[in-house]
Amino acid sequence: MNNLTIAEDLLSQVKLPKDILIRQFVEKDFPSVQRLYEKEGWMTFIERSDEGLEAWKNSTITLVAVEGELVVGLVRALTDGKITTYIAEIIVDINYRAKDIGKALIDVCHNLYPHTRLDLLSTEGADKFYERNKFRKTTGFRKSYY
pTM of the model: 0.88
Out of 12-26, 51-65, 127-141, give the one with best mean pLDDT: 51-65
> CA separation (Å) from 86 to 15, 59, 144?
22, 10, 17
pLDDT category of residue 142 using cuts at 50, 70 and 90? confident
What does the pLDDT read at residue 1? Answer: 37
Q: Indicate the fold that domain 3-132 takes in CATH.
A: Aminopeptidase (3.40.630)
Residue ranges per domain, the chain? 3-132
